[in-house]
Amino acid sequence: MALSELSVPLRTLLAQPELRLHLVSGQEAVDRPVRWAHVSELREPAPYLLGGELLLTVGLDLPQDLDRYVRSLVRAQVSALGLGLTPVHEQVPPALAQACAKHGLPLLTVPEATPFLAVSQAVGAALAEAQHAELRWLTGTQAALTKAAARANPAQAVLRVLAEVLSCWATLLDGTDAVLAQVGRVGAVDAELLDLARRVREGSGPRAASTEIGRTHVVAHPVDPAAVLLVGVPRVVTATDRAVLAVAQALLGLAGREHGRLATRVLLGDGRYRVLRGRRVGPGDPALDTPFVEITGNELRAVLPEDSVPDLPALHASGWLTALSLPHPVATLAAADREASRLLERVRATGRPARADADLVGLIDPHAARALLTPLDGRPALVDTLRTWLVHNGNWDRTATALGLHRNSVRHRIAQVEKALEVDLSDVQRRVELWLALTALPAR
């Protein structure tokens, strides 16, 4: 689960005896998720909140209109309000208790003996434990999916595990929209789902699609060569759900009906693997040191152990223009496949095979790189400053030291670069583009 989605229920904190927190109101909301604890004595803290907070205050400067104060916290999606007793308030102000009860904001008291820091640490520890539990669950789920993919009917077995762990329905369609496997649904696939599958097939590069059908969030993922995985989840799809779907997608893509047991052996180990994607440009057959090769028409895909790097120029000479991904763990094979697919698109434009870990700069068109940097022609100081600043990951102090300048001078030069190139260098994508352009050309 992404850190931003981690939370613990309020009841977890209330149940910790060492904190001695007392719930004044909001018993019906003790399962409300708390994402972090935040201390504020502002009269209007709402503009500085992100939602999901346990807001802690001693009430040093509470406004007179406590109803408005509580309403603003509710609008900011604060999970609960914690009032520290003493030295300001010996007990909860009645107007505050009434407002919290009226607007459904859980209100709790923090005794004088419990520092706010202890509450914050307790929230952090609970979040860390939640993250560890999530990782343990994901590891177990991956193992269950992998074992399912090694059974006699891998597609049906994988969907059965998927439906169980995500409380969802799942359908696998082939290229003609025939149902290959299905769990949790009965009957024909309706037109809306078929349209979703069509959108996925007609896309190019990394692709997926989603829609809402009633209260169900439906996602569609491609499973090569033309199969599509449809999954209906009765809630908003989370980062954890997406991680599970990525594993299922990789397994289904590699565990076809004819070679399910063989293809999934690679997924039973703990090693790292590369994905090779290729396009036929001649009459020859590919010579690859792996049994996990799939050729569909003029397209090739193979999975190879990290250390089994094929001779890409030799493959090209035999009639296959190829692109090789970085090594990936089993859980992210789908990402490796997308990486190789993206690289293959660029390889087809250049006509040269490439490895993601070796030939990225070689894929850059020098003419395009030169055009991007043309506004800096005749301004070598700006080029040198930009290059050094990017090398130091935008750190002003380290850049200034490397160039022997004051950091304000560095800031001024970078501002000139932004103006000349008409870019915002706070954008990571722009930084990467400029770094690649600088790398593709000789030092200026």
Structure confidence by residue, pLDDT tens digits, 96-154 = 999 999 999 999 999 999 999 999 999 999 999 988 888 889 889 988 998 888 776 88
**Quick one: 374 and 277 in the same domain?**
no
Distances 424 to 229, 380, 420, 429 between C-alpha atoms, Å: 39, 20, 11, 10
Residues of the chain with pLDDT > 90: what percent? Answer: 43
Q: Is the Cα torsion angle 355, 360, 362, 365 positive or negative in sign? A: positive
Domain final position from 307, 333, 360: 360
User: For the purposes of burial, counting CB atoms within 10 Å of the CB of 396, is it exposed (0-12), middle (13-18) or buried (19 or more)?
Assistant: middle
Task: Tell me the CATH number at 8.
Answer: 3.40.1390.20
The neighbouring-strand residues paired with 304 are: 274
The pLDDT assigned to 3 comes to 36
Instruction: Report residue 363's pLDDT band, with 50, 70 and 90 as the boundaries.
Output: very low
Instruction: Report residue 442's pLDDT band, with 50, 70 and 90 as the boundaries.
Output: low
**Quick one: 376 and 334 in the same domain?**
no
Nearest CA to 277 out of 332, 225, 317 is that of: 225
The pLDDT assigned to 272 comes to 81
**Quick one: 348 and 238 in the same domain?**
no
Residue 294 lies in a domain: yes
**Quick one: 8 and 120 in the same domain?**
yes
Instruction: Report residue 256's pLDDT band, with 50, 70 and 90 as the boundaries.
Output: low
Tens-digit pLDDT profile for residues 51-86:
999 999 999 999 999 999 999 999 999 999 999 998
Nearest CA to 363 out of 381, 348, 384 is that of: 348
Between residues 42 and 134, the one the model is more confident about: 42
Tell me the average pLDDT across 300-318.
88
Residue 134 lies in a domain: no
**Quick one: 348 and 419 in the same domain?**
no
**Quick one: 226 and 167 in the same domain?**
yes
Residue 335 lies in a domain: yes
Domain final position from 261, 295, 325: 261
Question: H or E element: which one contains 203?
Answer: none
Token representation of residue 3: 């850190």
**Quick one: 384 and 342 in the same domain?**
no
Residue 390 lies in a domain: yes
Please check the confidence at residue 191 and state whether its pLDDT lies above 70.
yes
Residue 238 lies in a domain: yes
**Quick one: 99 and 29 in the same domain?**
yes
**Quick one: 379 and 341 in the same domain?**
no
**Quick one: 278 and 252 in the same domain?**
no
Q: Which domain holds residue 425?
A: 366-440
Q: Which residue is listed with tokens 């001695």?
A: 20
Residue 139 lies in a domain: no
Residue 145 lies in a domain: no
Instruction: Report residue 385's pLDDT band, with 50, 70 and 90 as the boundaries.
Output: very high
Length of the chain equals 444
Of the listed ranges 126-135, 185-194, 256-265, 430-439, the one predicted with least confidence? 256-265
Residue 140 lies in a domain: no
Mean pLDDT of the chain: 86
**Quick one: 251 and 284 in the same domain?**
no
Instruction: Report residue 206's pLDDT band, with 50, 70 and 90 as the boundaries.
Output: low
Task: Tell me the CATH number at 400.
Answer: 1.10.10.2840
When mean pLDDT is compared over 17-31, 204-218, 366-380, the highest value belongs to 17-31
Tell me the average pLDDT across 312-340.
85
The pLDDT assigned to 2 comes to 37
Domain final position from 90, 125, 160: 125
Please check the confidence at residue 261 and state whether its pLDDT lies above 60.
no
**Number of domains making up the chain:** 4
**Quick one: 257 and 293 in the same domain?**
no
Task: Tell me the CATH number at 193.
Answer: 3.30.450.30
